[in-house]
């Protein structure tokens, strides 16, 4: 597979799908807030906080890995396609940023509540993000045609492949420094949040 570069395409303005994409970040916050209301007052448990760490780190790793292949910002307000990225984590899963987001959110939910709360948030986010992803995929299909359909056939949407699909030999070098700079605040906030929950769980034991 390789990187196609047709003229950028965007979804038509307006409509529920465009609105869903535009507010995808706030949707995650809304689900998290609803979980906190459901489980309030919180009583973090040490075993769940410790079990949550590898889940959170997995999400952070996937976000940074995906960011290594973005030379421009990905947090857009409209669905658009500048290029088809088929390198790095995209050889294993079609939506590594969303996989990272879900993993981080579910890990923090486990640390803050319990497996039932984490499971409920996981289900809600999978449904929510699947709607966002379908909107993005429609744009990618119009933009890249058969190249994207072949990519879609070989690479799963959510569950990363154990073995990567072969990438183009001309794959760009991973921009690790760029990725870490872009993700620095998110990483710090995520780890501080987990650390605070771990401390609360230890204090309440």
What is the structure's pLDDT at 173?
80
pLDDT tens per residue, range 117-174? 999 999 999 999 998 888 888 888 888 888 889 889 999 999 999 888 876 666 778 8
What is the structure's pLDDT at 15?
61
Phi, psi of 13 (to 5 degrees): -65, 150
Give the SS3 label for residue 44.
coil
41 has pLDDT over 60: yes
Confidence class for position 43, pLDDT limits 50, 70, 90: very high
55 has pLDDT over 70: yes
Return the beta strands (E) in the chain as ranges. 9-10, 80-81
Q: Quote the CA–CA distance of 109 and 123 in Å, as a whole number.
A: 12
pLDDT tens per residue, range 69-122? 875 544 454 555 567 788 889 999 999 999 999 999 999 999 999 999 999 999
Q: Quote the CA–CA distance of 173 and 62 in Å, as a whole number.
A: 17
């Amino acid at each position: 597979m390789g990187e196609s570069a047709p003229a950028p395409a965007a979804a038509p303005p307006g409509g529920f799908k465009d609105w869903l994409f535009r507010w995808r970040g706030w949707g995650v916050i809304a689900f998290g807030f609803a979980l906190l209301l459901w489980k309030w007052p919180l009583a973090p448990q040490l075993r769940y906080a410790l079990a949550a760490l590898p889940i959170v780190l997995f999400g952070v790793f996937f976000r940074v890995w995906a960011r290594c292949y973005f030379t421009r910002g990905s947090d857009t307000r409209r669905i658009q396609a500048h290029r088809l990225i088929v390198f790095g984590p995209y050889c294993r899963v079609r939506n590594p940023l969303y996989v990272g987001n879900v993993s981080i959110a579910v890990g923090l939910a486990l640390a803050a509540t319990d497996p039932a709360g984490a499971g409920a948030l996981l289900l809600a986010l999978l449904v929510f993000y699947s709607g966002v992803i379908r909107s993005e995929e429609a744009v990618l299909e119009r933009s890249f045609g058969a190249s994207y359909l072949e990519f879609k056939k070989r690479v799963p949407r959510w569950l990363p492949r154990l073995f990567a699909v072969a990438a183009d030999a001309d794959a760009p070098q991973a921009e690790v420094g760029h990725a870490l700079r872009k993700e620095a605040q998110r990483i710090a906030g995520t780890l501080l949040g987990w650390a605070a929950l771990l401390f609360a769980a230890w204090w309440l034991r």
